[in-house]
Amino acid sequence: MTEVRPDGQYDDKSLGELVAIATGSVSRLVKSEIELAKLELKGDAKKAALGGTLFAVAGVIGGVVVILLSIAAAYGLITVGIWNWAAFLIVAGFYVLLAGVLILIGLWRMKKMSGAKRSRQSVMEDFAMLRRSGGSEEQPALTE
């Protein structure tokens, strides 16, 4: 029988038995690490769900605030002496202009995207090199 010494080493074990012990230990370690990761991710998922819910509620409240401020602005214009319908149209027109400006800024930013030009160029060069090497006897240089 194999004896375990006080310093944690095994006596009288064959190489195959030692490998089996090591493999079992590694397997237990990996399983333990996976369980730990699952527990940590479960806690993080709960925190993320709560955070996402709070962001959604804040977004809804923000939308309600914008509506209320818009109504207040329209009534403010009415107290200045502008007709009711005109005051609400002015506020609505402001939002239409704001949306238009935001769309233009978004389009401008989208046009500035490079679209991975260098990656596309590299892939095209690779395809060209593969086509050349397939039909000719000369091999392309690897250090071009």
**Measured CA angle at 37 (ends 31, 43), to 5 deg:** 140
User: How many structural domains comprise the chain?
Assistant: 2
pLDDT at 114 > cutoff 70: yes
Mean pLDDT within 111-134:
78
Distance (Å, whole) CA 143 – CA 54: 56
Q: By the 8 A CB rule, do 3 and 11 touch? A: yes
20: tokens are: 């089996």
Residues 99 and 119 in one domain: no
Residues 21 and 53 in one domain: yes
Mean pLDDT within 96-107:
96
Residue 9 lies in a domain: no
Share the mean pLDDT of the chain. 85
How many alpha carbons lie under 13 Å from residue 61 in its C-beta half-sphere?
6
Residues 74 and 106 in one domain: yes
Distance (Å, whole) CA 55 – CA 49: 10
Mean pLDDT within 93-120:
90
Residue 25 lies in a domain: yes
Helices (H) then strands (E): counts for the chain: 3, 0
Residues 21 and 31 in one domain: yes
More confident residue, 54 or 15: 54
Quick one: pLDDT at residue 65?
Answer: 97
Residue 61 lies in a domain: yes
Q: pLDDT tens-digit profile of 21-38?
A: 888 888 898 888 888 888
Residues 80 and 33 in one domain: yes
Mean pLDDT within 60-73:
97
Question: Residue 57's domain spans which residues?
Answer: 15-113
State pTM to two decimals.
0.53
Residues 60 and 80 in one domain: yes
Residue 65 lies in a domain: yes
Mean pLDDT within 119-129:
80
Residue 4 lies in a domain: no
Quick one: pLDDT at residue 5?
Answer: 61
